[in-house]
Amino acid sequence: MEKKILNYVVLIEQDENGVFVAKVPDIPGCYTQGKTVQEVMERVREAIDVCLKGDQALIEVPMKFVGLQQIEIKR
């Protein structure tokens, strides 16, 4: 059986304590954290695997990533 290659966008943010938090927008509830970007990327790979094993219905073609923008709002 040929394995599918799935590509997911991973959103990485850093909290007020310096911890990196990774979220996978295409998989509800799929997130993890780590002390470094490298660590959080290793952990998010594991988290994706666990999430996909837990709910086979999630194995669909993820949406295509178009871009990321940051906007500044003055208040």
What's the length of the chain?
A: 75
Q: Facing residues of 33 across strands?
A: 21
Quick check: 60 pLDDT over 90? no
Question: Which residue do the tokens 């007020």 mark?
Answer: 16
CB neighbour list of residue 46: distance below 8 Å, 6 or more residues apart:
32
Quick check: 61 pLDDT over 70? no
Q: pTM here?
A: 0.75
What pLDDT is recorded for position 71? 82
Task: Give, as one character, the DSSP assignment of residue 65.
Answer: P
pLDDT tens digit string along 34-53? 999 999 999 999 999 998 88
What domains sit in the chain, N to C, each tagged with a CATH number?
A: 1-75 (3.30.160.250)
